[in-house]
Amino acid sequence: MILVVGGAGYIGSHLVKELVKEKEVVVLDNLSTGHRWAVDERAVFVEGDLGNSKDLDSIFSTYSIEAVMHFAANSLVGESVVDPMKYYQNNVAATLTLLETMKKYNVKNFIFSSTAATYGIPTVEMITEETQTNPINPYGRSKLMVEQVLVDYAKAYGFQYIVLRYFNAAGAHESADIGEKHTPETHLIPIVLQQLLGERESISVFGSDYDTPDGTCIRDYIHVTDLARAHILAMEALLSGKKSTATYNLGNGLGYSVKEVIETCEKVTGKSANVIMAERRAGDPARLVASSEKIYHELGWKAEFSLEDIIASAWKWHLRGV
Ligand code: UDP
């Protein structure tokens, strides 16, 4: 049995849909941002909190857990700046409770969702796992703190882990049964698609004076199904008995500017966007593009979906109007 903490959320629910094809799965989620309907019906669902040791005890004493995947976190940079306590409480303290329970039940395989935000403002074109981490906001720091805890838990308690640093997750499941649904929505691709559907007046481009070819920020967009596949490979590596304390970037290796994303959305949907140039958003680095060579060499993973594929799948999901 695999425990997926945060399996009702955007990325977690996509992973669960793939994972149930090969494993028994129990999902723990407090539904603070996730959705019960997003959890595949083949998984056992437990509504509860990873910071609550009673909820954890009841799962670990009921099921024989082989590995834990941890997706349950708050992940909005701006919110983390105004409410850091929420981030250190939910992303760090609650994770320590989860790790403590794993130790208690002698479960030592852990797959952790981390983020490109751990790198801060990188000075290199392509970010590798060797690139210095230097997060510039509480969200990135909260994720890096857990990464550091894992280093020590591996040494002291024999934990095996794989840390996956996501770049910009986007897109929806091919079935269009599940997709990205945040309230409020802050991410670029869903915002553009909502505008193209007439659900928003306009799209604000946050800054057009960055040091990039067209002046807008460049990001590395990665299909959520590609992310799900990476988790399954990571799990298989851990369950094969491979000793691991690895950290991997998950990106496409291709950067697209905000303007390019909007243009691709227009192309895929055949609609024209109403775009407004706006001020920069605090905490946005000009360019974040991953090298994912390491996970390709070590686990054989590479991104398979293009930006057009990502947007086409997201559009199919948005047209459902869930
Ligand atoms: N962005 C934008 N307008 C929006 C939302 C996002 O210009 O309404 C920009 C944002 O400043 C960043 C890029 O789009 O440069 C991706 O932002 P998103 O919030 O999707 O992901 P992040 O990179 O912050 O994780």
What CATH number is attached to the domain comprising 309? 3.90.25.10
Q: Confirm or reject: Cβ of 258 under 6 Å from ligand 1.
A: yes
Q: Confirm or reject: Cβ of 204 under 6 Å from ligand 1.
A: yes
212, 232: one domain: no
Atom of ligand 1 nearest to the CA of 261: 14
| Of the listed ranges 75-84, 154-163, 191-200, the one predicted with least confidence | 75-84
Give the H or E element holding residue 236.
helix 224-239
Number of domains in the chain: 2
75, 208: one domain: no
Q: What is the three-class DSSP state of 101?
A: helix
14, 79: one domain: yes
Tens of pLDDT along 35-52?
Answer: 999 999 999 999 999 999
Atom of ligand 1 nearest to the CA of 205: 7
Separation of 283 CA from ligand 1 center, angstroms?
A: 11
Predicted local distance difference test score (pLDDT) of residue 49: 97
Measured between alpha carbons, how far is residue 191 from residues 78, 183, 209, 315 in Å? 17, 11, 21, 11
The answer to whether 92 and 100 have CB atoms below 8 angstroms apart is: no
Separation of 214 CA from ligand 1 center, angstroms?
A: 15
Strand partners, 29: 47
Pick from 208, 231, 250: which residue ends a domain? 250
Asked, for residue 208, whether it belongs to a domain, the answer is yes
| Of the listed ranges 14-18, 77-81, 127-131, 271-275, the one predicted with least confidence | 77-81
Predicted local distance difference test score (pLDDT) of residue 183: 87
Asked, for residue 177, whether it belongs to a domain, the answer is no
Q: Confirm or reject: Cβ of 192 under 6 Å from ligand 1.
A: no
Asked, for residue 140, whether it belongs to a domain, the answer is yes
Q: How confident is the model at residue 34 (pLDDT cuts 50, 70, 90)?
A: very high
Tens of pLDDT along 166-179?
Answer: 999 999 999 999 99
132, 206: one domain: no
Atom of ligand 1 nearest to the CA of 77: 24
Predicted local distance difference test score (pLDDT) of residue 322: 81
Predicted local distance difference test score (pLDDT) of residue 278: 98
Q: How far apart are CA 231 and CA 253, in angstroms?
A: 18
End-to-end CA distance of the chain: 30
Q: How far apart are CA 146 and CA 143, in angstroms?
A: 5
Predicted local distance difference test score (pLDDT) of residue 283: 78
Percent of the chain with pLDDT over 70: 100
Residues 95-101 have a mean pLDDT of 98
Separation of 110 CA from ligand 1 center, angstroms?
A: 30
Asked, for residue 176, whether it belongs to a domain, the answer is no
Q: Which residue has the higher pLDDT, 93 or 183?
A: 93
Q: How confident is the model at residue 242 (pLDDT cuts 50, 70, 90)?
A: confident
Asked, for residue 201, whether it belongs to a domain, the answer is yes
43, 84: one domain: yes
* Residue having the nearest C-alpha atom to atom 18 of ligand 1: 187
13, 159: one domain: yes
Pick from 228, 250, 272: which residue ends a domain? 250
Residue 10 designated active-site:
no
- The residue annotated as part of the active site, out of 119, 139, 153, 221, is 139
Q: How far apart are CA 73 and CA 29, in angstroms?
A: 10
**Mutate-to-test residue for ligand 1 from 276, 281, 311, highest number of ligand atoms within 8 A of CB:** 281
227, 310: one domain: no
- pLDDT reading at 284 higher than 90: no
- pLDDT reading at 231 higher than 90: yes
Q: How far apart are CA 253 and CA 2, in angstroms?
A: 30
Share the mean pLDDT of the chain. Answer: 96
44: alpha, beta or left, given left = phi > 0 and alpha = psi -120 to 50? Answer: beta
85, 199: one domain: no
Q: Confirm or reject: Cβ of 310 under 6 Å from ligand 1.
A: no
Asked, for residue 180, whether it belongs to a domain, the answer is no
Q: Confirm or reject: Cβ of 206 under 6 Å from ligand 1.
A: yes
Separation of 128 CA from ligand 1 center, angstroms?
A: 22
Q: Confirm or reject: Cβ of 281 under 6 Å from ligand 1.
A: yes
- pLDDT reading at 90 higher than 90: yes
Q: What is the DSSP letter of 197?
A: T
Asked, for residue 179, whether it belongs to a domain, the answer is no
142, 26: one domain: yes
154, 259: one domain: no
Predicted local distance difference test score (pLDDT) of residue 23: 98
Which domain, by its residues, includes 118? 2-170+220-250
228, 212: one domain: no
204, 106: one domain: no
Alpha helices in 63-196 (DSSP H): 77-82, 84-87, 94-104, 138-157, 188-196
Asked, for residue 245, whether it belongs to a domain, the answer is yes
Q: How confident is the model at residue 321 (pLDDT cuts 50, 70, 90)?
A: confident
Predicted local distance difference test score (pLDDT) of residue 282: 81
**What b-and-e string marks burial along 144-170, b requiring 16 or more CB atoms within 10 Å of the CB?**
bbbbebbeebbeeeebbbbbbbbbbbb
Whichever domain contains 132, its CATH number is 3.40.50.720
